[in-house]
Amino acid sequence: MLVFSTARLVFLSVPKTGTTAYEAALAPLAAMIVLAPPELKHAPMFRYNRFYRPALEKFVSDKLDILAVMREPVSWLGSWYRYRQRDELDGQRVSTKGVSFDEFVTDYLKGQQPPHANVGSQVKFLEPQANGTRVTHLFRYEDQDGLRRFLEERLDTKIETTRQNSSPDMALELSEKTLARFRRKRPDEFALWNGIGSNGAYTPLP
């Protein structure tokens, strides 16, 4: 998570959406950088609202914009699947070695997810809070040009990013049956992503 006090902007770090590259590029401009532990670096909206917002509104501004990135749901799960294929996870319960991507998505959709498929939810991460705190600018991961333009204008700087913390490249296959089940059981994930427009505008879920 990055906080830019002069620009009155908070950049939340949704896992597996490429924000690590922006953290590396924009760290010199940030008033506050949260890189560890993961529970704080990747603080979801409810955690930001409870722990960070009160202090930031008191000492920075009570009119902070909140920026976040969301990835297409299948692609997001694909990134998690590839990330957990790493050799250093061999033998651990979170490893996806020996599990097909189709099986991984099937496990993700279970009521009781096995450890390797317990990766959270983008919709839950971004969920607006009862007090009105919510993301004000939401970009698709697939719209890197739009995200970069927004940040360059808001921060008055040119941005050069390099690939960081990327998952291993590999082809992934998902059956039509599993994809249809994913869409049926998690329609909110697709609805939120589909509702993202240009320049960070989006349609919040009801």
Integer Cα distance of 116 and 101 in angstroms? 11
pLDDT in tens, 22-45: 999 999 999 999 999 999 999 999
pLDDT in tens, 45-95: 999 999 999 999 999 999 999 999 999 999 999 999 999 999 999 999 999
Sign of torsion, CA 45 49 55 58? positive
Write down the pLDDT at residue 165.
62
pLDDT band at 198 (very low <50, low <70, confident <90, very high): confident
111: CB partners within 8 A, 6+ apart: none
The answer as to CATH 3.30.1490 being correct for domain 2-200 is no
pLDDT in tens, 94-118: 999 999 999 999 999 999 999 999 9
* Longest alpha-carbon distance in the chain: 51
The answer, as to whether pTM is greater than 0.75, is yes
pLDDT in tens, 157-180: 999 887 766 666 788 999 999 999
DSSP string, 28-68: GG-SEE--SSHHHHT--HHHIIIIIHHHHHHHT-S--EEEE
Write down the pLDDT at residue 116.
98
Write down the pLDDT at residue 166.
64
Write down the pLDDT at residue 167.
67
Show me where the domains of the chain are located.
2-200
